[in-house]
Structure 1
Amino acid sequence: MAALPEGTPCWVDAMFPDLAAAKSFYGELLGWTYAEGSVEFGGYTQAFSDGKAVAAVVPQMPGMGGPPSWNLYFAAPDIAATAEKIRDNGGALLMDPMPVGDYGTMVTAEDPSGAFFSAWQSGSHEGFEKTSAPGAYAWSEVTTRDVEKADHFFPSVFPFEVKTMKHETEDFKLWHIGGQPVAGRFKMSSDFPHEARPFVNVYFAVEDCDAAVATVSRLGGKLHNGPMTTPFGRFAVVEDQQGAVFSVIDLTTTGGEMPEFA
């Protein structure tokens, strides 16, 4: 498999206070099965959909506060150069480039608007083995209030071609690589709680959005927004029972006119 182009979303993971509860929640919601946790890497546990690697969950480290959150990795063929661009453009590195066995090398950072993300230079682990199908990663959006900082930072660190949606009220941008959309930037509206910090909204594909929302509620999670049908699919923003916010999307149920981008 060829290495993904620089800036392509390539992996997601999350730390949870209760790993068993997280495995049960996402196993029922998304049909995930799990590998044995790696003792060498702090119990890092890969999740699979139809036998293909789609994400990972890991026990939260002692002393870490706050609710869990999904962490998005962008492909970085030269992790040292990416780390330098993060620093040069106002971001904060939470760790220097760190080898993860022979799997690859990572950095975790915070953009100037406050959203956390990671970059990944692949070794033996190249990232997602399945995307845009039920049980797998489908999309992501940097969701922030300080869009000016995010809009400068991310295209300066990664080779994104930026397209702006023409809309009277929504402030949304698409990031393209090689002419294809790979992720987006969404401005937080007044619908978000005042205390909500910027985050990367990770979308997981499901067969039926409404059924997925019902499962989230039954398992102790919450519905934040939706479900709503868009030209891109029917989706909802939800929260798991431990506080991690993400979205579920049925990519086959679409409606409305495709928005214009310039």
Structure 2
Amino acid sequence: MNSAPIKPHIIIPMAGRGSRTQDGWPETPKMLIPVSPGLDILDLALAFLPRRSLAAVTLVFIILREHEARLDLSARLRSRWPAAQIHIVPAVLPGQLATTLEYLTSDQGAPARAAPVLVHNCDTLVRFDLSAALAGLDSAACRVVCAGSHDPALCYAEATAAGRITALLEKTGRITPHASTGTYLFATGQMLIEAGAQAISDQPDAAEHFISSAINGLIARSDPVTLHPAAGFTPLGTTQQIRDYQEHLR
């Protein structure tokens, strides 16, 4: 008897306080900020995942207990994505890597350890082909969805002409043709757990732990990490970026 295919896990960490949007929306978690009538940032962040594809993936939202208590956030999410898993963390953790590992190492996250895992920002509109990105895992341990940009605040990939990444440069100000969109795909969740735990152990006093640190660990041990091109992306992490996008829609 053939076993059912393992569903990729799409993990959306959104358990921060949204400090970069407090000046514009002090009472609203970033992912719920409206960009136009009936459309918020989370809708844009999940635009890469058509409704017809939802049955083929496991969608996971990692949320903050404070937001759950104040906004009944899990109910609001399930009203739009009924099959989604909700993982609640009790407090803000130091960065996206720590937040993601908290889910993956929990009992709830156990099924993701043997499955492909995509970690995706809750505040970025990225246009890319998920099926093609997943297919690339046949020859890679990890894939980084990249696009062109000139923003020095972003993470950039150094890569060979064949698309193999040799380093991720997180907030160094150095610009290459390959800006990370903040969307990362791993062959298994267990791989991310191991590389992530090592990255945190190497920098235990870091104020923020980035997914890119785990990926650089994979690169250091010669695991293949490759680019996947995005057709475009729009960061929506600051008040100004959101205002600019709202103006673009008018």
The TM-score, its normalising length taken from structure 2, stands at 0.29
Which structure has greater helix proportion? 2
The TM-score, its normalising length taken from structure 1, stands at 0.29
